[in-house]
Structures are given as structure tokens and as C-alpha cells.
Structure 1
């Protein structure tokens, strides 16, 4: 008798499971991609004044190093962002009646990235107190090599170009929180930039 009750209970449980599992329509839609969680460091800055021609503040999580590919250029540096596998390359050139050539070089570099860019935004930089003028350029799109670049000049003696690069082909959708975070740091660099 007890054995019959157990068998009846098992059969009832099996039927209930079948009914519940068959109730839903099959879902053949692909699952959305998930991205890794990115922990962003706290905002804190330090003064960088070891460069001969200019100074600025950069994030404490970054490391400022000489450009290894241009050892003769004392004013060329990389701001390494190891946590994000990226860097901001800063190159300095003296202005000798050739500012137009440097501006054309920036335009050419931006144009090269337009093939993969889905949008480009630029904004003027004007800091009359420190004689810092320039432009900040952002590019959207999957696979854009440099999502942000800028140039700064005093228009008579100095020209600095900066560009953010990642050490991998970025998917700007998944990297957007990092790009937004670094944008704030680049804006801080620009706002604290001074010529020596």
C-alpha cells in the first residue's frame, strides 16, 4: 500500500514537471553579449613637470614614460594606462612658421580614421591665461584606432599632439565606460596644461 502511494506520487510529480516545462514557447533568440565588469580607479591627479617644454596634471593611476620609439625627442612622452591596456601619446614640435603644416598633419590623421568612424565631434580649446589653444576630437565607431585626440599650441613656439590608443582593437560599445572615464582625465590634462 505504501509502495503504491510512492509510485502514484512520483507519477504525479513527473506529470506536473512535464506540464510545467511544456507550457513555455521555445526561445530561439540569441542571448545578448555580456561584457566584463570594469573597476574604475578613484580620481586623483599629480603634477607632471619633468618635461622640458610643458607641464600638466595626470591621473595617479597612470605612468608617464619617455617615448621608447623616439629617444632623441625629450618632449615626447607616453602616459601609460596599464589598468586599461592603453596609453596617451604626447608629441611636441617647435613652431617655426610651420603651424599650418602641423594642423594639416592633425587633419590628415583624423581623416585616416574616418573610414571606421560612425561620428566625429570636435571642440575648441581656449585658455588665454596660459596661452593654450587647440582642438579636442572624439571619434565614435567600432574599431576606431584612436577614440580621442587633441592638439595644443601657443601658436608661436610650441605644438603638442595627443592621442589615446589601446593595445588591442577596441570595441567602443564595451569600452565606453573606460573611454568616458579617460575623457575626464584628458580634459583635466588639457585644463591644467601650461607651457614652460
Structure 2
């Protein structure tokens, strides 16, 4: 009986030993697929001194700071907010420009780089700067727009998550394109 058990043990051992001899095929790597809808834009109608087109996938809300003509575009699906702040120019264009530039350059500590892209639309008297911030900064996109005489607007995108550039990059790129579209469609009243 012991001999029968030993033979059974060796038989199973040999079977297991030779059954593992096939070619090893590694499991294919999984790729994260993030899909974003094609943006659909419509003009924002407001009592303010400006209009622009916003993505229909965002919700326009009046800013909580109770400032006239300050708005938030909420991108709930991506846990992000685009803040749009309006200022009237009263011999303070220099300080408004300095504040807008300082807001962007505060991110230098965490940023890997800041790309500056001037924006000029002479026909509609819209001049400004778009900033793309790379790295683990709190805001990946910012802009300012002015007519250099009466109106000044600052915009920035913030995510409601801890900054991790690799994780937010696809959403940041989508919102960057929305921000550029706002700049391109902004008109003064």
C-alpha cells in the first residue's frame, strides 16, 4: 500500500513537472482609455460687458464672491472649475497685468515649465496671454484678456484633486482647449 502511494506521488510529480513546459505568454498590458466628448459650444448671455462661448458640458454659475460679472464654469464630470473674473480698468491696467502675471508665476515652485502664448485679435480689440503650466501645479491653464482701455478678464482652471500632472493631463488638455475657445470667442459689448 505504501508502494502504491509512493508511485502515485511520483506519477503526479512527473505529470506536474512536464505539464509546465509550454511557451509562456505574458498578459498584454492594459491601456487606460479616457474618452472625452466632442465639445459643443453656445454663447453665454449675461448682463456683463462681454460675451463668450462655453462648452455645453460645463455649467455656468455666478461666483460666490458676489462680484458683478464673475463666473465659474463647473466641469463636474472632471472635478474642475474654470474661474472667470472681470475687472473694469480705472487707470490700473499695470497693476491688473502684474497681478495676473503673478498669479501664474506663483506656480513656478511646483511647475516644470510655463508656456506663454500671446493672443491678439485686432478686429475685436481682444489682447491677452494664455499660460500653460506643466508639472504638479494647482492650475494647468490660465489667461488674461483685455481691450487695454475699459475691460480686463482673468481666467484659471483648478481641479478639486491633489495636483498630479500625469493623472490630470488628459482632462487638463480638454479644458485648455475650452479656455482657448473662450479667448477666441470673447467679444466686448
Please report the TM-score for the alignment, with normalisation by the length of structure 2: 0.86
Find out whether 1:191 has 2:184 as its counterpart: yes
- How far, CA to CA, are the matches of 1:176 and 1:17 in structure 2? 46
Q: Give the drift of 1:80.
A: 0.6
Q: Cα offset for 1:38?
A: 3.0
Describe the shift of the 1:115–1:92 C-alpha distance in structure 2 as closer, same or farther (beyond 3 A).
same
Q: How many residues align?
A: 179
Structure 1 residue 45 corresponds to structure 2 residue 38: no
Q: CA deviation at 1:81?
A: 0.6
Residue aligned with 1:10, SS = helix
Query: Which blocks of at least 5 consecutive residues in structure 2 are unaligned?
Result: 25-29
Partner SS state of residue 111, structure 1: helix
The answer for the alignment partner of 1:92 in structure 2 is 86
Give, in whole Å, the separation in 2 of the partners of 1:155 and 1:95.
8
- 1:55-85 Cα distance to aligned partner (Å, 9 max, x none): 00011000010001x11x1200001111100
Structure 1 length as normaliser, TM-score? 0.83
Greater displacement, 43-52 / 159-168: 43-52
- Inter-partner Cα distance in structure 1 for 2:187 and 2:38: 24
CA–CA distance in 1 between the matches of 2:20 and 2:33? 38
The residue aligned with 2:27 is none
Q: Within 5 A, what are the aligned runs for 1:1-196?
A: 7=8, 10-17=12-19, 37-68=33-64, 70-71=65-66, 73-142=67-136, 144-196=137-189
Partner-residue secondary structure (3-state), 1:114: helix
Q: CA deviation at 1:92?
A: 0.5
1:51–1:74 contact (8 Å) kept in structure 2 = no
1:35 to partner: Cα distance: 8.5
Describe the SS at the equivalent of 1:118. Answer: strand
Whether contact under 8 Å (1:76, 1:91) holds in the other structure is yes
Q: CA deviation at 1:12?
A: 2.7
